[in-house]
Amino acid sequence: MLHMNDNALHTVEARIREQAAAYCASNNVPGFVAGVYHAGEQVVVAHGTANAATGAPMLEDTGFLFGSVTKVLTTTLVLQQVDRGLLDLDTPVVKHLPDFALTAPGAADKILVRHLISHTNGIDADLFFPDVKGRDALKTYVHRLASSCGALFEPGERLSYSNGGMIVAGRLLEVVTGMSFPDLLERDIYAPVGMKNSGTSAEQAILRSTAIGHFPDPRTMAARPTGMFMLPDTWGPAGGTPIGTIADLLAFGRTHLAGGLSPSGARVLSAESTALMQQVSYDMATPNVPPMGLGWVRYPFGDTTVLAMSGASPGGVSILCVVPEHDLVFAAFGNTPGAIVLHDRILQRLLSERLGVRIPTLISEPEKDVDLTPYVGTYRSDQLRIDVRIVDGQLEERTTYEPADESQERIFTEFAGGMTSAPPQRYVPIRPGLFAPAGYPLETFDGYLRLLLVSYHDVRDGRARFRNGGGRLTRRA
């Protein structure tokens, strides 16, 4: 085991290189890049191929889509405006965005700025993909919410991972600063943090080494390149468009380690706002949904908290983890969706071997004779339907995507690699209201993959009102 005072990261570098090579070979992941900053030292490891179509190698400074890691950048931008007195977290969003509305009359009026960045806003827009380009993309997104998307719950009442909330926050930033979201991101995050190789468009990305995503071919399981590089401009603040390198993400993570001071010493965020982002803003008190800060998700590993956000892009997945009490940042990108398992394994190894953190068992032995009937039924959210029934003493879930129109179907299908409905998934009861996908050893869920667990909430008259999978709520139809 490497002890805290052993600062040489070369052992960590060698182990990540070995781990990445083995996982990528056995799971058909073309390429992987990861970096660790710890106590003043930093390493970056690259492996494999950035683009299977061209054979371009994955390099230490290859760029990749941040995906939802962008949500922490967007939240940082919001808190900057709070520091400057342009925004108040407890102000209704409609004060700044009078045209912000949802299909349920009056629902948007109750949403505060804080609800947007703590995923407690209830906006039912997780798969809402308006295909709009250019400077007015976010304005158009907010305008179309009024006729397309409703509310899942009352603001502040529950927690549900919210792309829509972050996109509305991006539009809010445009209105209060008078700048487009991409320009603001470049001026107020990329520049002061020192994210020298980050951009916000495919036009910028093509000028340097950039990875693309891949999906497993259903017939051969070999990785095939994605047909869509990035999501529409409407998804910029939620993670559709920002691109950068591992070194850039490590610099951003270090800024949050250092109370808002960038590695070059520039003040990016006040110490108070940096701390506020890291504090619990909502806790659902269920193992599959870690407590939420502002922007950050707070993963408990025993007594150690890992501030984290992962980010899916078409055929790729990134992650950024910050461990304040151990002065450590970990960032990674793999160019198939399955690379999230490798992210999780490296994170747990860093915690246990590098930092000496004891990772406790999250899920103990399942309870016997759990009544499954409260969870049976149909649950819905925007363009998504989940049918739940009992089969052989387990729950079986069948998930169906129900596109609102042709454009949404095209974007979602490309984003999902051509799959629009998943095969039925069985779940075994762990205890009332908590279920694990069948066939997985329980230790699978000790780390980041606790998100694979499913929970049901608010049982009334013998029926659950909400299902939570991957941090996202669907409501009983």
Q: Is 236 helix (H, G, I), strand (E, B) or coil?
A: helix
Picking from 116, 160, 68, 157, the residue whose alpha carbon sits closest to that of residue 467 is: 160
Nearest-angstrom CA–CA distance, 431 and 38:
38
CA atoms within 13 A on the CB side of 356: 8
Question: What residue spans of 243-379 are helical by DSSP H?
Answer: 246-257, 271-278, 339-349
Nearest-angstrom CA–CA distance, 58 and 173:
34
Q: Which amino acid would we find at residue 114?
A: R
449 phi, psi to nearest 5 deg: -75, 10
Question: Is 68 noted as a catalytic residue in this protein?
Answer: yes
Picking from 278, 297, 277, 282, the residue whose alpha carbon sits closest to that of residue 157 is: 282
301 phi, psi to nearest 5 deg: -120, 90
Total residues belonging to the chain: 477
Q: How many CB atoms lie within 10 A of CB 1?
A: 8
Nearest-angstrom CA–CA distance, 139 and 455:
35
Could you say which of 26, 68, 180, 264 is catalytic? 68
Picking from 292, 284, 52, 274, the residue whose alpha carbon sits closest to that of residue 158 is: 284
Please enumerate, as own/partner, the contacts of 473-476 that have beta carbons within 8 Å and a separation of 24 or more: 473/152, 473/153, 473/158, 473/159, 473/160, 473/381, 474/379, 474/380, 474/381, 474/384, 474/386, 475/152, 475/153, 475/379, 475/380, 475/381, 476/377, 476/378, 476/379
Nearest-angstrom CA–CA distance, 12 and 5:
14
34 within 8 A of 52, measured Cβ to Cβ: no
Question: CA torsion sign, 93 to 96 to 102 to 108?
Answer: positive
Positions annotated as catalytic residues are 68
